[in-house]
Amino acid sequence: MKEITGAGVALITPFKKDLSIDTVALKNLVENQCSNGTDFLVVLGTTGESPVFSESETRLIIDTVKEANNNRLPLVLGIGGNNTEAVNHKFKAIDLSGFSAVLSVSPYYNKPNQEGIYRHYVSLADNSPLPIILYNVPGRTGSNITAATTLRLAEHQNICAVKEASGNFAQCMEIIQNRPDGFLVISGDDAFTFPFISLGMDGVISVICNAFPKQFSQMVHAALTNNTVEARKLHYLLLDSMNLIFEDGSPGGIKEIMQYMGICNAALRPPLYPVNEKVREKLVYATDKVLGK
C-alpha cells in the first residue's frame, strides 16, 4: 500500500450558496491537488461532510472526483459508522472501482470497549473488497483505539494502515515501534505531521492541504527524506493556519481560507456553521503569511 504514503488530502466538499454540491469547484480542487504535489486523495471523510449526503449525492461526489482525477492519484474512500452491519452493506452498495483503500472511522457515540472495536473492524476487514485503514479520532468518536488494539488489528491481512488522530505521542510511538512489516501509520493531525514523520510515520491525511497543497506536500516530502531544515521551515510557515482551521470547527476553518483564496465559498451544511468573525480575521492573517503577502 505504498500508494497511500506521503501527503494525502481529506477533500472538502464545496457547496454553492444554495448548499447544492458545486461540482465545478470540486473538479478544480482535485486538479489543484494533482498539480501541486499531493500524493493521494481521500473522498467523503469527515472533512468532506460525509454524514449529510444522500445516496445520490454520494455517487455524484465520487463520480466527480474520479472524473477530475482521471487515474492520476490514488483514491481512498471514507466508509464508516457505528452500525457494523450497515457499514458492511455499504461495501456492496457503493461502487468501489478506482479506489485503493477504505478509510473507516472507529464507531462513534455507542463507545464500544476495545473488544467491540476489534470485532467491528475484523468484520469490516472480512467483508471489504478493499484494504481497510483504521481511523482513530477520539475527539470525535468519544473512544480511543488503544495501541494494543491497533497492533492486534494490524495482523489482519486486509487491514493496511491506521490514521492516528489521537494526538497521543506515546501511543503513536508504541504503534510505530511494534507494527508488523508493511503496516502504515498515517498522521491525522496536521500540526503534528512533521514530528510524527520524524518518529517514523509514513505520511498524513491532511485538512490544510486543501488550501496549500504545494507548501504542505513539500513539507511532508522533506520530512520523509530527512531534510529536517526544509521541513521545519515549512512546518512553522504553516503552523498558525494548521491550528486555526480547527479553532471554531472543521471544515469551517479550511473553507474560510479557501473562500478568501477564491477557490470556493465557505458554505457549510447544517448542523455545521461558519466560524466566528474573530477566527475569520485570524485565518486571513495566517493565510497571508503562507502566501507571502
Residues marked active site are found at: 135, 163
Is the distance from CB of 206 to CB of 7 less than 8 angstroms? yes
Spatial CA neighbour of 28 closest among 211, 266, 263, 213: 263
- How many whole angstroms separate alpha carbon 193 and alpha carbon 208? 11
DSSP 122-166: HHHHHH-SSPEEEEE-HHHHSS---HHHHHHHTTSTTEEEEEE-S
The CB density around residue 92, as the number of other CB atoms within 10 Å, is 10
Cell 457547496 belongs to 15
Is the distance from CB of 189 to CB of 165 less than 8 angstroms? yes
Q: Which residues contact 60 (CB under 8 A, 6 or more apart)?
A: 21, 23
Residue 61, all three cell numbers? 461526489
Q: Kindly tell me the burial class for residue 167, based on how many C-beta atoms sit within 10 Å of its own C-beta (0-12, 13-18, 19 or more).
A: middle
Cell 445516496 belongs to 55
The angle at the Cα of 79, spanning 203 to 112, to the nearest 5 degrees, equals 95
Where do the DSSP E strands lie in 51-151?
75-78, 101-105, 132-136
Whole-angstrom Cα Rg for the chain? 18
